[in-house]
Amino acid sequence: AQKVTQAQTEISVVEKEDVTLDCVYETRDTTYYLFWYKQPPSGELVFLIRRNSFDEQNEISGRYSWNFQKSTSSFNFTITASQVVDSAVYFCALVDTGRRALTFGSGTRLQVQP
Amino acid sequence: DTGVSQDPRHKITKRGQNVTFRCDPISEHNRLYWYRQTLGQGPEFLTYFQNEAQLEKSRLLSDRFSAERPKGSFSTLEIQRTEQGDSAMYLCASSQYGGPGTGELFFGEGSRLTVL
């Protein structure tokens, strides 16, 4: 069975602060894929990143970075120097080879105050 | 093509009525998914199609729910005898299959259902 846990329901920061969103996952498969999606107030989920279980290299894309650690089953997401436009709900998701559909966590609402 | 489109964006209905949602995926995408999202929760998988074949259905999809993708293009999700618990955002997503776990999902803006 797949499960994704995002323990932080809501985080509020002031602009330019760094913020880390936590994601812990469960799967019995050795091959799986992890994702992060952003859901701005408009409602449309936007893909941010995909990671497969064999690639534990951390990734950086501009102000965004992701830390994948299989030993702790975590795939955390850090926004550096946050901006008001980063305000959204962020979802972590998982799919393993036994399923074809993503399992999403419950999301973390990030509010960046000016 | 500007992305996944869903219609209607909002639907208010009385309990017991039937409703139908339509999803038009990105044209070259062969996979189409329906998810349901309630307030404060992540999207929950309902069903998915590869071309016109419905390959997986969640246990959330009760007998009152039916989805079709007749020609492998657009899809409809019908809810019969709606209940207040059906109130949610119904999200459609599409992807181009390239192997397990590949193909990011492109989501529509959703169809919000309110059952009175």
Tell me whether strands A19-21 and A74-79 are parallel, antiparallel or unpaired: antiparallel
Is residue A29 less than 8 Å (CB to CB) from chain B?
no
Q: Is A106 exposed, middle or buried (0-12, 13-18, 19+ CB in 10 A)?
A: middle
Q: Residues A48, A36: contact at Cβ < 8 Å? A: yes
Distances (CA, A) of B40 to A91, A105, B53: 11, 11, 31
Per-residue pLDDT of chain B (116 residues; tens, 9 = 90+): 579 999 999 999 999 999 999 999 998 898 999 999 999 899 999 999 999 999 889 888 889 999 999 988 999 999 999 999 999 999 999 988 766 556 688 999 999 999 99
Residue type, B36: R
Instruction: Write out chain A residues lying below 8 Å of B98, CB-based.
Output: none
Encoding tokens for residue B7? 């219609």
Nearest CB to A44 within list B40, B44, B109: B109
